[in-house]
Structure 1
Amino acid sequence: EKKNEDNPKPAEVEPLKLDLDNCRDRIIRLTVNSSNLGDAILDKDGENLYYKAAFEGGYDLWRHNLLESRTEIISKNVGGGSMTFDKDYKNLYFLSGGNIKKFDTSGRSMKNVDFEATFNYKPYDERAYMFDHVYRQIKDKFYVANLHGVDWDGYRKNYERFLPYINNNYDFQEMLSEMLGELNASHTGARYSGSWASLQTANLGLFYDESYEGNGLKVKEVVNNGPCSVKNTDIKPGCIIQKIDGTDITTGMDYFPLLDGKIGKQIRLTVSKAKGGKTFDVVVKGISKGALTDLLYKRWVERNRKLVDSLSNGRLAYVHVRAMNSKSFRDVYSELLSERNRNREAVIVDERHNGGGWLHDDLCTLLSGKEYQNFVPQGKYIGRDPFNKWTKPSCVLICEDDYSNGHGFPMVYKTLGIGKLIGAPVAGTMTAVWWEKMIDPTMVYGIPQVGCRTLDGIYGENTQLNPDIVVYNTPEDYLSGNDRQLKKAIEEMLKEADKNK
C-alpha cells in the first residue's frame, strides 16, 4: 500500500475521438494573406500555430492564435528552413542556411547558436559515392526500363576508371555529363554551382557605337525602362559618356571595373551631347545582367508586336510564351484576352526559345475555345462565350531551341489539330525530369523520369516535331533582324482570318 501511495496509478485517458463527419465543410484559412509558406509548427497546447511566410522579401515568423483567430508577425527575416520547439516548448530553433538560431517565444528575442562541427572530409570517396548514386538512380528511375538499349553497366566501368584522377567538381561534373550523355536522352547531364564573384558588374542599359574611336562611350541606343530611360536623364543616341564616377574613359579603356559592385547603387555619369560638347552629370542606379536580359526580352517582344500590327494593319494579335510556368501563362492570358487583342481576327502564338516547364494543357485549353453564344443587349453585340478562351484562328511559331515542354506544347497543339505550326523542326525532348541535388549540394544531375507518349504509343522523347510550314531564320537574319518565320506566320494567319469571316 505504501508503494502504491508513492507511485499512484495514472488516471486512464479516454482515446481521442475525432469528429470526421463533414470535415471538408470545416476547412478554414489560417494565413492572413497569400504568400510563399515555409515550415509550420503548433505549440504544446495546440493553441498557437507558428509558421514562416514570405511576401515582403524574406521569410518572417508569424503566430496565429487558433482560439482567438488572431494573426501577427513576431519576427522579421528569420530565413527559410525548418524549425522545432525545445522539450519545454519555450524556444523555437531554426535551421537555415547552415546556421542555427534560437527564438524565445515569450521575450521574442532571436539569438544565434554557435556550434562547431568537424569531420574528416574524404573528397575522393564522396565523389565515388555520388558516382555510384547516379548510376543506381538512373537504372531505377529512367523513363524506359531498357535505358534506350545502352549497356549501362559497361558505361559505368568505362567512366569509373577516371575517378581516381579527378580532384575537383568542375571535372567531375563534366565526366558525369559525358556518361549521362550516353543515354541519348534529354534532361540528363550534371551541373556544378561553385562560388561566384563577390562583386557583380552593373549595367547601365545602353548600347554603344562600336565604330566610335574617340574618348568615352558613344551611345547608340538607350534600352527602354533601363537606368538611363526611366527618368529624364537627357541621355540620347549620339551622347558620349565621358566619365563614370569621376574617372575619365579613354580610348580602348576597359571601363567595366568602374561598374563592379554597383548593382542597385547610384552611379554618376558625366555626359556630353557630342564630341567636345558641354558636359552634364546624371546619377542613375546600375542594374544586373538578369535585369538587362528581361528588358531586352521585352524589347524583342515589342518589336515583334509592332511588326505584326504593321503588316496586318492591326488585324492580328501577337503573344509570346517565354516559359512554361505560371507567370508566363498569366502574361499570355492577360495579353491575349486584353482589350487590345480580344477582338482581333487571329493570333500568332510565338513560343520560340522556350526552355520548358509544364503548361501544354493550359495553353491548348486557352486556344481551343469554341464560340457558342453572344451577349446582345438591345441589338448591340458586346461579347461572347466562352469569355475566358480564344475562339478564333491561331498558329504557333516554333524553332530549333525549343526544349522540354517547349516541345510538348506544340506537340499537343498539333495532336489536337488546333492550328498550324510554323518555323523550324524541334528536337524530341518532351519528358518530365527530376533534377536531383546530391550529397554535395553544389552538384545536380538530371533523370528524365516520366515519358510522354501519344495515344498511338509514340514517345515524345527523341521524336522530332516537324512544323506544318517549314521556315528557317538564317544567322544573317538574326544579325539583321529579318524574321522570316514571323513574316510567314503573318501571311498565313491573314489567310485564315479571311476564311473565318
Structure 2
Amino acid sequence: MTSRFLVHEPALSPDGKTVAFGWQGDIWTAPTSGGRATRLTTHAALDSGAAFSSDGKQIAFNSEREGFKMLYTMPAGGGEPKQLTFHTDGCIADADGKNAKRVLESWNPVSVTFSPDGTWIAYSQADEWFNDDIWLMPLDGSKPPYNLSRHPDNDSRPVWSPDGKMIAWTGQREIREVDVFYVNLRAEDDEKTKRERTLVKAREKIAKSAKPAAAPKKEEPPKAEPKKDDKPADTVAKAEEKKPEEPKKEAPKPKPLQIDLEGIHERVHRLKIADSTEHSLVWSPDSKRLAFQSQSVEKKLTRTVEFPDELTPKQLGTVALTNAAWLKADDQIVGLLDGKPASINVKTGAPKTMSFRAQQAYSRAEKLRAVFDQCWQVMRDRFYDDKLGNRDWSAVRAKYRDMAAESPDMKGAVECVWLILGELNGSHLGFTMGASNTMSGWREETAHLGLRFDATFAGPGWKVRDVIPKSPASRKESRVEAGEVVLKVDGKDVTSAMDASSVLNGPMERDVVLIVQNGDKTREIILRPINYTMARRLLYDAWIENNRTEVEKASGGTLGYLHISAMDDASFQKFQEELYHAGAGKDGLIIDVRENGGGSTTDHLLTALTQPRHAIAIPRGSQTSGYPQDRIIYATWQKPIVVLCNQNSYSNAEVFSHAIKTLKRGQLVGVQTAGGAISTGATSIMDVDTLRLPFRGWYVLSNGQDRELMGAKPDHIVWPQPGDKIDRQLDKAVEMLKQDVTSWKKRPQPKLIRATERQP
C-alpha cells in the first residue's frame, strides 16, 4: 500500500548507508541513496524509536505489543525481535537486557543524551512548576543530579559533543526567543583565551614545519655469493616463522570523562540570534562545529558555528532538517525535511531528498484493534486523573475493543475511541482522523446578504428584521432598511417557505441582484455578498458596541465595558488597548468573558488587574495621583471591576473566573461556567492522527477542589429568559459595579506631604 503519512524518528547506520525509521506503526529500513524500503516488523501494535547498535548489526526499538512500551532488538537485516526489558521509560540495562535499573523518575517524558563513554547522562526534565531545566547525572549514582541551566524559562533537548567536552541545548528566553546554549565541561577549556589558543596553534605549526637533518647514507657491504651448502631461502623463511611472536600492545585506555561541576553554571554561554527560533542541534563528528535549524516568520534555514572562536552563526543551507545527524562519510547532515528523509551537503549547503518505495500488507481488524489499544493505553498511563473517571478501565477496553476491530474502516474504530473517551466524562478530549480526500478549487457556498429576516412574516418575500452594521446591505450604494421586503433574488421570487440556499448558494465572488419593496415602491439593489464567518464577525462587533452603549447609558457614563473573546495573545493585546479605550475616564469596568472558549492568558490578565501598588507619583502642576506606566509590565487597571461569565465560558476563561473570586478582585455575575478546566496536550496515534491528552488538573486554592466538572459559580446568578430583549446579566453587572464604585470612592486616602512641608 501507499500512504500520505510521513516517516518518523529516522536513525542512521554507523556507515551512513542505511536509514531505519517508523512508518505506519512498523520499523523499516531503506538505503540512503534511495530505492525500496524493507519492512522489519509486522506486528499490529506500534513499533517506534529505532536505533542501530555501534557495529550496525542490530537494531533496537520500542514496541507496545505487550500493552506497555518495552525495548526489543533484532538483526539489522530482519529477523525475530527479542524482548530485552520489562520496564518503562527512565531505565537502563546491559545490551542483553540484564541488570536493568531505573535511573530517572519523571511525571513526563524526558529528553536524554549519553556521554560518549556512557558513564553520564544529560537530560531535560520539567519540575513541579512545569519548567524544563538541563540536568547532569552519573549513571553509577555516585553524585546526585546537578541542575546545569538553572533558569525560570524552559531549557531542553541537550546534545553531548562526540569528544565529551561540551553540551549544547536550546533555551527559551524573553518570552518568545529560543536560542542555543552551550557549556564547557572542563574549566580549563573555558579559561583559555583566543590569544592563547592562537599561540598554541602557531607553535604546533612551527614544530611540524621544522624538518630533521637527513642522516648520512651507510655503504652496504657487497652481497656474498651463495655457497653450495647454503640452505634454500624457503628453509630460512620457515625457520624465521618459528620464532616466538612479540606480545601485542594493548590499546591505550580512554581517559575518564572530566566534568568540573564547580562553577559550571557560570560557564554557560548563549548564542543569541534575534527574532529566530533554534532547534534540532547536531555536532560534527570532530566536535568542532555545531549545526542547528533556525526558523523565523519569513524562512527556515540551517546555520553552523565553529568552536571555540568562530561563534557568529553562518548560513549553511536554505532548508531546515529535524531529527538530524552529522555523518563523517561525505561530510553531510541527514534528517527529515518536511517529514521526508533528506541530506545537506556541508561543503555546498545543497539539500537532497531521499526517495524510496514501500508496500505494506496488514490485517485490517488487527490494525484497527491496535489503534484502539494504543488510545486506551495512552489514557491509562497519562490521563491527568489516574482514577480514570472512577471507571474499571480494563472493563471499558473489553466493552469496545472487538467493536473497533470489527469496524468496516478506520472511521468506525475512531468512533469506538470516542466512546471510551466518553466513559471518562471529562473535558478537552477528542480523537481526530486526517481527511483521506482534500477538496481543491471552487466549491459552492451560501452567501450572506448582511440582512436578517422576520421569521413570522408570511410573505410574499422576506421582510428585513435588521441590517448588520458594516455589511454590504448597510452601505450607501446598496443600502436596505429594516422593514423593507426582498421580493426577488437574482430574478427568482422568494417566499418564507422556501430553502434560502436555493437562491443564495454559489461562488462568493459575484454580484447578487435584489428587488426590494418599500410600501408601494420597488427598486433594484446590487450588492457583493459576504460569507457566514464574516457575518458572525460583524454581528460580534455590533453586539460589543450595543453592550458598551447600554453600559454607558445605564451608568451615566461612569462605567466602561470590554469583552474578551478568547484567552490568546491577540485578545490579550486587544485587552490592554481596551483598558485605555473602554476605561478612559471611567470609575469601574465590566469585563465580559461570556462565550469565551479559553486559551492560556489568565495570568497575564491578572497581572494587569492585580498589579501591586506601593507608591503614588505626582508631577509638578498635577493634583491627580498616578504611577509611571513605563515602570510596570502591562497596562494596568486598579479601579473596581465586575466579571461576566456564562455556561459557554470554557477552559482558561473558567480559570480566570475562578481566580477573580479567589483573589477577591471583583464580583462574578452570570451563570456557572462549563466545568471544563484541565490543561490538555496531544499525542500522535500511529499514522492515524491526533489524540487529545489532558495531563494537568487545576484545583481551587482555598479548598483544593478539582475545577474539572465544577465550573466557577457567580456571586450573582442570573439566567437569561427566552425572548428577552434585554441583557439581564449585563444589567445586574452594572448594578453591582455601581455599588462597588461607591464603596471604592469612600476608601481612605493619605494626605500627600512634600518634603518641604514635613514638620520636624
TM-score with structure 2 setting the length: 0.53
Q: Counterparts of 1:353-368 in structure 2 under 5 Å?
A: 353-368=595-610
Q: Secondary structure at the match of 1:378?
A: coil
Is the 2:662–2:702 Cα contact (8 Å) retained in structure 1? no
User: What CA distance in whole angstroms lies between the structure 2 residues aligned with 1:60 and 1:175?
Assistant: 40
> Which has the larger displacement, 489-498 or 385-394?
385-394
Q: Structure 1 residues 399, 32: closer, same or farther in 2, change over 3 A?
A: same
Structure-2 separation of matches of 1:218 and 1:427: 35
Runs of 5+ in structure 2 lacking a partner?
Answer: 1-244, 494-499, 746-760
Q: Supply the distance in 1 between the matched residues of 2:327 and 2:692 (Cα, whole angstroms).
A: 37
Alignment equivalent of 1:349, drawn from 582, 591, 597: 591
- Map 1:76-91; keep pairs closer than 5 Å: 78=319, 82-88=323-329, 90-91=331-332
Once residues 480 and 329 of structure 2 are traced to their aligned partners in structure 1, the CA distance between those partners, rounded to angstroms, is 68
Secondary structure at 1:375's aligned position in 2? coil
1:110-259 correspondence to structure 2 within 5 Å: 110-195=351-436, 197-199=439-441, 206-210=449-453, 221=467, 224=470, 234-237=477-480, 250-251=492-493, 254=502, 258-259=506-507
Which of 330, 335, 339 in structure 1 is aligned with 2:578? 335
- Offset of 1:68 from its aligned partner? 6.4
For 1:485, what is the secondary structure of its paired residue? helix
- What corresponds to 2:691 in structure 1? 444
Equivalent residues of 1:395, 1:421 under 8 A apart: yes
The match for 2:546 among 288, 300, 303 is 303
TM-fit CA distance, 1:46: 4.5
Is the Cα–Cα contact under 8 Å of residues 192 and 444 in structure 1 kept in the other structure?
A: no
Name the amino acid aligned to 1:405: N
C-alpha spacing 1:127/1:164, structure 2 compared with 1 (3 Å) = closer
Deviation at 1:469, TM superposition (A): 0.5
Cα deviation code 1:130-186 (max 9, x no counterpart): 322233333333333333432222222222232233123333233222222223332
Q: Is the 8 A contact 1:425 1:465 kept in 2?
A: yes
Question: What is the CA–CA distance in structure 1 between the aligned matches of 2:402 and 2:610, rounded to whole Å?
Answer: 54
Q: 1:459: how far off?
A: 1.8
C-alpha displacement of 1:470: 0.8
Structure with the bigger RCO (C-alpha within 8 Å, sep 6+) is 1
Relative to its length, the structure with more helix (as a share) is: 1
Report how many residues are paired.
473
Q: In the alignment, is residue 325 of structure 1 matched against residue 568 of structure 2?
A: yes
- Tell me how far 1:367 sits from its aligned partner: 1.9
Q: Distance in 1 between matches of 2:305 and 2:462?
A: 62
Residue 325 of structure 1 aligns with an amino acid whose one-letter code is: D
State which of 477, 492, 498 in structure 1 corresponds to 2:736: 492
Letter in 2 for 1:60: K
Matched with 1:60 is 300
Q: Which moved more, 1:401-410 or 1:7-16?
A: 7-16
Question: Are the aligned partners of 1:49 and 1:64 in contact in 2 as well (CA < 8 Å)?
Answer: yes
Structure 1 segments unaligned to the other structure (5+ residues):
none
Distance (whole Å) between structure 2 residues aligned to residue 422 and residue 24 of structure 1: 52
Instruction: Read off the aligned partner of 2:730 and give its amino acid letter.
Output: L
Larger Rg computed on CA atoms: 2
Contact 1:345–1:497 (Cα < 8 Å) also in 2: yes
Deviations 1:254-302 (A, max 9, x none): 356532xx7xxxx3426579677577787x9x77x66665555444334
Query: Deviation of residue 467 (structure 1)?
Result: 0.9
User: Residue deviations 1:83-123, cap 9 Å, x none?
Assistant: 44454465444524443444445545445433212212433
Match of 1:316 among 554, 559, 564: 559
TM-score, with structure 1 as normaliser: 0.76
SS at 1:134's partner residue? helix
Q: CA deviation at 1:473?
A: 2.0
Question: 2:727 maps to what in 1?
Answer: 483
Asked if 1 retains the 8 angstrom alpha-carbon contact of 2:682 and 2:690, the reply is no
Q: Does 1:422 align with 2:669?
A: yes
Code of the residue aligned with 2:419 in structure 1: it is E
Please name the residue that 2:651 is paired with: 404
Residue 410 (structure 1) shift:
1.2
Distance in 2, Cα, partners of 1:423 & 1:121: 55
CA distance in 1, matches of 2:647, 2:563: 16
Partners of 2:488 and 2:349 lie apart in 1 by 53
